[in-house]
Structure 1
Amino acid sequence: MLELAFPWALAALPLPLLVLWLAPPRRETVQAVRIPFFEATSAGLDKGEGAVVLPRTRAQMAFAWTLWALVLVTVAQPQWVGAPVERSEAARDVMLAVDISGSMHTRDFTAPDGTRGSRLDGVKSVLDGFIAGRRDDRIGLVVFGSAAYVLVPFTRDTAAARALLATLEPGMAGQNTMLGDAIGLSIRSFEASKVEARILILLSDGTDTGSRMAPAKAADIAAQNGVTIHTIAVGDPDASAEADKVDIATLEGIAQATGGSFNRAEDAAGLAAIYDQIDAAGAREGATTSWRPRTPLAALPAAAFVLLVLVAYAASLAVARHRRARRREATA
């Protein structure tokens, strides 16, 4: 749709008529000497039109009005207004802290089709759908094993987050489980967040093995910074191997200290249901801003003005040459 940024500029269109009415051309009669034999005494002189005011043709008037209209259109700043574009602000910042320690390769996670797979593969398949469903949230991803790392800073680029999630393998970050360090790193990621709703979803299948910051202390700091932690136990608390056991008490304490929830996930369907509960409990709609892109078009009438002036100037030069040539032929 075409719009004018300053449509009031077109009100000046009749201004030349007002000028002609209030300030008509100056006309003055003066005495002069008429010389009948001027042609004989003016050899070599270029005779002009004198003070004769030549009449303006309709074409000349139309050309002048066209130039004046182009000037006003340029001042009015025409612009093409595109279709509305909407952008929603982030409603929440959701950080996913995923345990990728060596024990996550244990094949005791039940897929929707009933087959058994590794714990990490099951978590990744459900997380992929959870991330894909983020519309009004920013998503982040922290992975931890013997150390914690930020794999995906807060972003609304869910495609990139899903692509990086797919690359995870058990043991990539070491064999141990640093729960406290993962929480601490997540808290640091929230420091630059300007969103009030800050959620950390912590998935682990093991017991903290020597974090620099104890999980309970990290949970207290998270609560002070307005971060709600939902913990999900993926492992078996009764596993025979000590490394495969999940510390239920610690995960429950972390969730309770921050006002979050603790859940156990033994299969994909249960894990998906947990995500739905967490999502529904803190669901918010982000503020939506709308605008229409505007493309300025003032350069077009300005260019047309310049082009017409150049064409008129070239035409006037051609007419002047033609007249001079005819005069030379007449005097020859």
Structure 2
Amino acid sequence: MIEFAHPYAFFLLPLPLAVYVLVPPHQERVSALRFPFFRRLADAAGQAPKAGSVIFKRTTLQNLAALSIWGLLITALAAPERVGEPIIQEKAARDVMLAIDISGSMDQVDFVSQDGERTQRLDAVKRVVGDFISDRNGDRIALIVFGAKAFVQAPFTEDLASVRALLEQTEVGMAGPHTVLGDAIGLSIKTFQASQIEDRLLILLSDGADTGSRMTPVNAAAIAAKEGIEIISIGVGDPEGTGDQRLDERTLKSISNAAGGTYYFAGDENGLAEIYARIDAQKPREVETRSFRPREPLSHLLLALAALIGIGTLALLHTRKPRRRAA
């Protein structure tokens, strides 16, 4: 489909006709000498006198060429464009950060899998969270893992397959044996600061208690709330445990309360899958849809054609004898 960016340029098409009708031809009087014996001088010089002032008569070819070139120039000025089929782009409208605890306690084989068998906590988490990542097409996902330190495993991206692959590669103890909930939240805040998207969600999963963060988890959550980050916390450990093995539900609840989120506890893999399904339903995927049509300018083709017509007409006129009429 062809469209014109400046269609009002076509109002200039009748301009030559208006000039021809409204503007009189240019005439100029000049002084001249009249010789009563001019013919005798010509005979004496052996020259045959010719007509004085002549006006070359325009040919049909010239008229057609002039009209064609003018029409092409005006059409080029109107900026014709070839418009392609609509292209729809979807852009993520929400950033989702996944913070996963991979401290030493995640190595416990006390989590009941969906098959009814006992499995390692982290293995169950990777299966459930991996499915959650794959189903979030339309969101940008980032992954943070933490133990004694917190690390960005994957920055915000729409390449969900890569995020899931990086999650699968995580192992217990990669980030140290302890749990730094506050530092994980702090690193999440820093990562979110590079994002231009206002809808921000942090899903924090842990099975232990904070054991040495530079900032308390609740204070970090309060800062996150000021940055517009909602925190959903999930506990997967043993609330009745001791030391580093005890799930600190009180702190996880306080984190979610401070950042406008919710706390969930999962006792087995089925429960964990239900929690992520509930989060998926409460926070559906959001995308911004943009549609545009690719445009290819065509003015240069019309200008090239006008130039070819002009050059071709001049070449033909030079090979033909012009018709003249006396002034």
Same fold (TM over 0.5): yes
Tell me, what secondary structure is at the counterpart of 1:53?
A: strand
Deviation digits for residues 11-37 of structure 1, max 9, x if unmatched? 221221222112354468998777499
Structure 2 counterpart of 1:143: 145
Structure 1: segments with no counterpart, 5+ residues: 324-332
Structure 1 counterpart of 2:324: none
Matched, 1:80 2:79: no
The residue correspondences of 1:105-120 to structure 2 (distance < 5 A) are 105-114=107-116, 116-120=118-122
Closer/same/farther in 2, CA of residues 53 and 254 from structure 1, 3 Å limit: same
Tell me, what secondary structure is at the counterpart of 2:56?
A: coil
Deviation digits for residues 172-192 of structure 1, max 9, x if unmatched? 222221111101111222334
CA distance in 2, matches of 1:191, 1:48: 90
Structure 1 counterpart of 2:303: 302
Closer/same/farther in 2, CA of residues 155 and 27 from structure 1, 3 Å limit: same
Closer/same/farther in 2, CA of residues 242 and 56 from structure 1, 3 Å limit: same
The 10-residue stretch of structure 1 (67-76 or 282-291) with the greater mean CA deviation from structure 2? 282-291
Closer/same/farther in 2, CA of residues 298 and 99 from structure 1, 3 Å limit: same
Tell me, what secondary structure is at the counterpart of 1:222?
A: helix
Structure 2: segments with no counterpart, 5+ residues: 322-327
CA distance in 1, matches of 2:43, 2:145: 104
Closer/same/farther in 2, CA of residues 27 and 183 from structure 1, 3 Å limit: closer
Deviation digits for residues 142-201 of structure 1, max 9, x if unmatched? 111121112233333434433433332222222221111101111222334454432211
The residue correspondences of 1:152-163 to structure 2 (distance < 5 A) are 152-163=154-165
Structure 1 counterpart of 2:291: 290
Deviation digits for residues 236-292 of structure 1, max 9, x if unmatched? 3345x8544422232222223323221122444322321222233344745544333
Structure 2 counterpart of 1:6: 6
CA distance in 1, matches of 2:133, 2:149: 24
TM-score (norm 2): 0.81
Instruction: Determine if contact 2:137/2:285 at 8 Å carries over to the other structure.
Output: no
Closer/same/farther in 2, CA of residues 121 and 257 from structure 1, 3 Å limit: same
Over 6 Å off, 4+ runs: 27-34
Closer/same/farther in 2, CA of residues 253 and 26 from structure 1, 3 Å limit: closer
Shift of residue 308, structure 1, vs aligned partner: 2.7
Closer/same/farther in 2, CA of residues 228 and 26 from structure 1, 3 Å limit: closer
TM-score (norm 1): 0.80
Deviation digits for residues 25-75 of structure 1, max 9, x if unmatched? 4468998777499599477x9x99863223322222111111111101110
Structure 2 counterpart of 1:177: 179
Superposition CA RMSD, Å: 3.3
Closer/same/farther in 2, CA of residues 69 and 251 from structure 1, 3 Å limit: same
User: How many residue pairs are counted as aligned between the two chains?
Assistant: 317
Sequence identity percentage? 48
Closer/same/farther in 2, CA of residues 100 and 64 from structure 1, 3 Å limit: same
Residue identity matched to 2:300: A
